[in-house]
Homo-oligomer: A and B are copies of this chain.
Amino acid sequence: MKIGILTIGNELISGRTQDTNSSLMARVFSTQGWPVSLMMSVGDDDRLIKQALGYILAQSNAVVVTGGLGPTADDITAAAIARAFGLELYRDEAVLRHIRGIFEKYRLNWTDNNAKQADFPEGAEVIPNPVGTAAGFALKQKGKVIAVIPGVPREVERMLPEGVLPILRREFPEVAQHVAVRTIKTFGLSEAAVDQTLADLDPARLGISIGFYPNFPENHIVLTARGVVETEVASRVGAAAEGVISRLKKHIFAYDGETLEGLVAKYLTEKGWTLAVAESCTGGLVTDRLTDIPGSSAFLERSVVTYSNAAKVDLLGVPADMLEAYGAVSEPTARRMAEGIRKLAGTDLGLAITGIAGPAGRTEQKPVGTVYIALADGKQTLCRCHAFRWDRRRNKVISSQAALLMLKKYLTGEQEDG
Residues of B within 8 A of A414 (CB): none
Q: Which of A79-87, A185-193, A247-255 contacts B (4 or more CB under 8 A)?
A: A185-193
| Interface-located stretch among A9-17, A89-97, A162-170, A317-325 | A9-17
Segment at the B interface, from A141-149, A263-271, A281-289, A404-412: A281-289
With the chains together, A358 CA to B296 CA distance in Å? 11
Inter-subunit contact B305/A213 (CB<8 Å): no
Sample of 19 A–B contacts (CB below 8 Å): A13-B26, A13-B36, A14-B30, A14-B36, A15-B28, A16-B27, A38-B40, A38-B52, A72-B212, A283-B287, A284-B288, A291-B396, A294-B360, A296-B307, A297-B307, A301-B307, A302-B304, A302-B306, A302-B314
The answer to the question of A332 belonging to the interface, with a C-beta cut-off of 8 Å to chain B, is no
Among B15, B224, B302, B307, the residue within 8 A (CB) of A308 is B302
Which residues of B are found within 8 Å of A1, using beta-carbon distances?
A: none
Measured in the bound complex, the distance between the Cα atoms of B24 and A127 in whole Å is 32
Q: Does B292 lie within 8 Å of A302, measured CB to CB?
A: no
Contact of A39 with B by CB under 8 A = yes
In the bound complex, residues from chain B placing their C-beta under 8 Å from that of A292 are: 283, 392-393, 396
- Residue of B19, B36, B277, B315 near A302 (CB, 8 A) is B315
Report whether B111 and A193 are in contact in the complex, using a CB–CB cutoff of 8 Å.
Answer: yes
CB distance from A284 to the nearest CB of B (A): 3
Q: How far is the CA of A36 from the CA of B42 in the complex (A)?
A: 9
**B contact residues around A195 at 8 Å (CB):** 71-73, 113
B10 touches A190 (CB 8 A): no
Q: Which residue in B24, B55, B285, B346 is a CB contact (below 8 Å) of A288?
A: B285
Whose C-beta in chain B lies nearest to the C-beta of A279? B284
Question: Which residue in B39, B191, B359 is a CB contact (below 8 Å) of A40?
Answer: B39
* Complex CA distance for A303 and B303, rounded to whole angstroms: 8
Q: Determine whether the beta carbon of A19 is less than 8 Å from that of B23.
A: yes
Which of B23, B59, B113, B360 has a CB less than 8 Å from the CB of A18? B23
A222 CB–B CB distance under 8 Å? yes
> When A and B form their complex, which 10 residue pairs have the shortest distance between CB atoms, in order from nearest?
A283-B291, A15-B27, A284-B284, A15-B26, A284-B287, A302-B311, A303-B305, A284-B288, A72-B195, A13-B36
Q: Is A101 an interface residue (CB 8 A)?
A: no
Indicate if A310 sits at the interface (CB-CB under 8 A). Answer: yes
Q: Which residues of A309-343 are within 8 A (CB) of B? A: 310-311, 314-315
- Residue of B whose beta carbon sits closest to that of A41: B39
Of A214, A283, A300, A311, chain B has the most CB atoms within 10 Å of the CB of: A283
Q: Does A77 contact B (CB under 8 A)?
A: no
Within 8 A of B (CB), among A1-58: 10-20, 22-30, 35-43, 48, 51-52, 55
Does A204 reach chain B (CB closer than 8 Å)?
no
Please give me the residue from chain B that is nearest to A16 by CB atom: B211
Q: Is the CB of A41 within 8 A of B22?
A: yes
Q: Confirm or deny: A184 has a beta carbon within 8 angstroms of a beta carbon on chain B.
A: no
Asked whether A295 is an interface residue with its Cβ less than 8 Å from the other chain, the reply is: yes
Residue A229, interface by CB 8 Å: no
In the assembled complex, the Cα of A27 lies from the Cα of B15 at a distance in Å of 4
A191 and B70 contacting across the interface, CB-CB below 8 Å: yes
**A398 close to chain B: CB less than 8 A:** no
Q: Is the CB of A303 within 8 A of B304?
A: yes
Q: Which residues of B contact A28 (CB under 8 A)?
A: 15
Contact of A55 among B24, B55, B191, B301 (CB under 8 A): B55
Selected from B11, B26, B196, the residue in CB contact (under 8 A) with A211 is: B11
